[in-house]
Amino acid sequence: MRSATTPLDLLVPGPEHLPADPAEPRLTSLHAVPAGTPHVRANMVATVDGAAWGADHRSGSINDDADWRVFRVLRAAADVVLIGAGTARHEGYTALDRPAGLPAASDRPLELALVSRSGRVPQLLADGDRPPLMITGATGARTAARLLPADRVLEVPSAHDPDDVDVRAGLAAIAARGLARVLCEGGPTLLAALLRDGLVDELCVTTSPRVVGPGPSRIVAAPASGPGAAPAAGVPTTPPVPARLGHLLHAPGTGTLLARWLLR
Ligand SMILES: NC(=O)c1ccc[n+]([C@@H]2O[C@H](COP(=O)([O-])OP(=O)(O)OC[C@H]3O[C@@H](n4cnc5c(N)ncnc54)[C@H](OP(=O)(O)O)[C@@H]3O)[C@@H](O)[C@H]2O)c1
């Protein structure tokens, strides 16, 4: 179980010491997003050597209490958490609650939206009493509709392949439901699609103070084949997106760095 009591120093702008505070007023103001305006923030953790997960194939084994402090504040500031179906399966997502004790961005429950080509709803979510939203293509929508109420399935086929997902249209569909402040919690395949389509306003990256060695993916990864596949040569096919540093936090106890990068 993570604790949100680790102290933080704000290095840029700063320096400023941010002692643990259950209501997190300073972290909340540092991460505030205007209501009603579509905004996509991604929050990811990577090790010093760029790994997106640890030995258990989960990000939980590479994050820590400093990361947890910001993670909670970002959830409190969101209308909806957006994840790829792979993350839902690997990390065992269930319906989300707003973090206790923090000022919530909205009176509405925190929504969970999945992006999936297959439309396969993870069992834990299918069995729950608060079904997620499912953003999917034509065949995926039929699959998802077997387990989810019809109004939770958002069918947004891509123009090139009706079974592929138009993620931009998916974001528009959830914004039309009043879910404008999107927090994407990964994973790497979904983040690659969002970045490819220029849909990420802000990328929060925690650098976890450990080196895990080769094996895991980076926090941005495309599938090796199929829709949205990574280029065979292993070099980027899109121009680099400039990133401007919004702020940088440092946990003096561990060395964890938490950066907020602005992409648009
Ligand atoms: N370091 C971090 O911050 C972080 C954050 C989250 C997750 N993770 C880790 O990442 C790993 C999972 O990686 P992943 O890349 O498989 O995660 P992912 O992006 O969450 O899942 C990939 C799956 O999500 C669906 N999907 C994602 N993007 C899509 C798109 N544009 N169109 C249609 N479907 C899309 C597809 O589901 P279907 O197969 O159902 O079609 C795809 O197979 C886990 O080990 C997890 O712990 C790390």
**pLDDT tens-digit map of 63-79:** 999 999 999 999 999 99
Total number of domains constituting the chain: 1
C-alpha 247/C-alpha 257 separation (Å) is 10
Phi/psi region, residue 178 (left: phi>0; alpha: psi -120 to 50; beta: rest), is left
Q: What is the pLDDT of residue 1?
A: 81
Residue 190 falls inside a structural domain:
yes
Domain of 78, in residue numbers: 8-223+242-262
Q: What is the pLDDT of residue 229?
A: 79
> How many other CB atoms sit within 10 Å of the CB of residue 126?
14
Mean pLDDT of the chain: 94
Atom of ligand 1 nearest to the CA of 83: 20
47 is written with which tokens?
Answer: 């090790």
210 pLDDT tier (thresholds 50, 70, 90): very high
Indicate if ligand 1 lies below 6 Å from the C-beta of 216.
Answer: no
> Residue 191: pLDDT above 90?
yes
Q: What separation in Å is there between the alpha carbon of 107 and the centre of ligand 1?
A: 29
Q: Whose CA is nearest to atom 36 of ligand 1?
A: 116
Average pLDDT of the residues in 172-183: 97
Q: Whose CA is nearest to atom 20 of ligand 1?
A: 84
What DSSP element (H or E) covers 113?
strand 111-115
CATH code for the domain in which residue 71 is found: 3.40.430.10
Residue 228 falls inside a structural domain:
no
Atom of ligand 1 nearest to the CA of 46: 1
Q: Whose CA is nearest to atom 29 of ligand 1?
A: 190
Indicate if ligand 1 lies below 6 Å from the C-beta of 183.
Answer: no
> Residue 253: pLDDT above 90?
yes
Residue 178 falls inside a structural domain:
yes
What are the strands, taking DSSP E only, across 7-103? 8-12, 16-18, 39-47, 80-84
Ligand 1 pocket test, pick from 67, 115, 125, 200 with the greatest ligand atom count within 8 Å of Cβ, gives: 115
Residue 76 falls inside a structural domain:
yes
Helices 188-196 and 167-175: crossing angle in degrees, nearest 10, is 90
Indicate if ligand 1 lies below 6 Å from the C-beta of 120.
Answer: yes
Indicate if ligand 1 lies below 6 Å from the C-beta of 187.
Answer: yes
> Residue 34: pLDDT above 90?
no
Residue 233 falls inside a structural domain:
no
Residue 81 falls inside a structural domain:
yes
Residue from 128, 174, 172, 171 nearest 151 by CA: 174
Indicate if ligand 1 lies below 6 Å from the C-beta of 170.
Answer: no
Q: Give residue-wise pLDDT tens across range 123-169.
A: 999 989 999 999 999 999 999 999 999 999 999 999 999 999 999 99
